[in-house]
């Protein structure tokens, strides 16, 4: 058995920060203690935070690769480059494309799971193709179809177990049949790219939807006589709200409003990053569309935002510095909450018995060390 002791650091627990020693044995966290075991390998975390690794439940790509490019090398590239930003688990996220292309991407995700070198693939997030073209964002409308169970099965084939999250527009015909089918399967259903009224969103939430995707973006807004999907997200305590906190997709004041509505328990930070994340400004691709990356944003030719180039440690820094959160609460939005939203109970929190997915970072949230299931990467 391999035993490691991370000493001298500030350990970020769910509700507080403690200055103790974190003990890892093999792939698990086994103790949080005043003592240093004699037989342990020592990691000196002097001056650093010792944090649960981040969990990104919405990322299309990074480092020049996209989850829709169906090769192991592409998923491995995303895995390795997202780890640099502190992400230890992620859902490679597909986008609205022809059914056979999504199926190929799903098969590649299944085949690559457990084999990548960086952050772990813990499932997939299907973003589309069950969307409303009125709020298409960067999702190509010609590939949008209805959420029948038959169409869903065509997307995933025999690989239903890989699906941890699906984003859909709840006003589409057949949504409730699909929600009934997905019930008790451990899939987070999230409302997105949608023209739904508040009432239509509420009906889907009552039928089991537990999330809203990049909340505020590509959905009906909250107004006083039509509370929209944003209003339904805010008022239902069962619903997790994804937020792209890059300072571009959502104004920080609007982010604070959402935080007040959802509390630190139900807000989720995501990157929604595309292949240009981590690379220089220039012209890239999202599916078949050209994307222009400049000044921190990624846009289609028509100006629509096309995902982000955000990094998880940057959005956590924004939560810490711009939303006025304590460090443990800022981290919670990027670790515990996303894990809980997709029913993953052994990651996202430093707790005895959980998997040892640990990152070390400084006061500026610059990542200094990454540990995935007990192994320093």
Residues with a known catalytic role: 272
Q: Which residue has the tokens 């997030």?
A: 125
| 108 CB-near residues (< 8 Å, 6+ apart) | 70, 71, 72, 74, 75
Cα–Cα distance between 135 and 218 in angstroms, integer? 5
**Bridge pairing between strands 358-361 and 367-372:** antiparallel
Helix axes 99-112, 72-83, angle to 10 degrees: 60
d(CA 53, CA 62): 18
CB 13 within 8 A of CB 328: yes
Q: Which alpha helices (H) appear in 46-98, and where do they start and end?
A: 72-83
CA 15 to chain centre: 21
The CA distance from 34 to 200, in Å, is: 53
Q: Is the dihedral of CA 357, 360, 363, 364 positive or negative?
A: negative
Residue with tokens 């044995």: 25
């Amino acid at each position: 058995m391999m035993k490691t002791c991370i000493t001298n650091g500030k350990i970020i627990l769910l509700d507080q920060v403690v200055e103790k020693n974190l003990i890892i044995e093999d792939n698990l966290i086994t103790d949080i203690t005043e003592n240093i075991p004699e037989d342990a390998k020592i990691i000196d975390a002097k001056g650093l935070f010792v944090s649960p690794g981040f969990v990104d439940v919405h990322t299309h790509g990074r480092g020049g690769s996209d989850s829709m490019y169906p090769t192991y090398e592409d998923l491995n590239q995303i895995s390795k480059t997202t780890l640099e930003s502190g992400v230890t688990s992620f859902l490679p996220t597909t986008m609205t494309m022809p059914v056979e292309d999504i199926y190929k991407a799903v098969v590649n995700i299944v085949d690559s799971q457990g084999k990548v070198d960086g952050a772990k693939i813990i499932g997939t997030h299907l973003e589309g193709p069950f969307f409303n073209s009125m709020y298409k964002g960067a999702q190509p409308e010609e590939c949008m179809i209805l959420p029948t169970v038959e169409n869903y099965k065509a997307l995933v084939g025999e690989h239903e177990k890989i699906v941890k999250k699906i984003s859909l527009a709840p006003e589409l015909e057949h949504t409730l049949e699909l929600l009934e089918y997905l019930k008790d399967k451990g899939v987070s259903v999230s409302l997105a790219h949608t023209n739904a009224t508040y009432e239509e969103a509420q009906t889907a939430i009552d039928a089991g939807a537990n999330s809203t995707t990049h909340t505020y973006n590509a959905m009906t807004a909250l107004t006083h006589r039509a509370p929209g999907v944003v209003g339904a997200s805010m008022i239902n305590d069962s619903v997790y709200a994804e937020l792209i906190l890059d300072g571009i997709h959502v104004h920080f004041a609007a982010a604070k409003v959402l935080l007040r509505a959802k509390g630190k328990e139900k807000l989720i930070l995501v990157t929604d990053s595309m292949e240009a994340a981590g690379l220089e400004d220039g012209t890239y691709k999202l599916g078949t569309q050209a994307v222009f990356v400049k000044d921190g944003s990624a846009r289609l030719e028509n100006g629509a935002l096309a995902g982000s180039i955000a990094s998880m440690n940057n959005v956590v820094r924004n939560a810490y510095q711009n939303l006025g959160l304590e460090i443990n609460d800022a981290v919670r939005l990027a670790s515990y909450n996303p894990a809980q939203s997709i029913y993953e109970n052994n990651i996202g929190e430093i707790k005895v018995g959980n998997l040892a997915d640990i990152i070390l970072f400084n006061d500026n949230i610059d990542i200094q060390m990454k540990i995935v299931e007990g192994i320093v990467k």
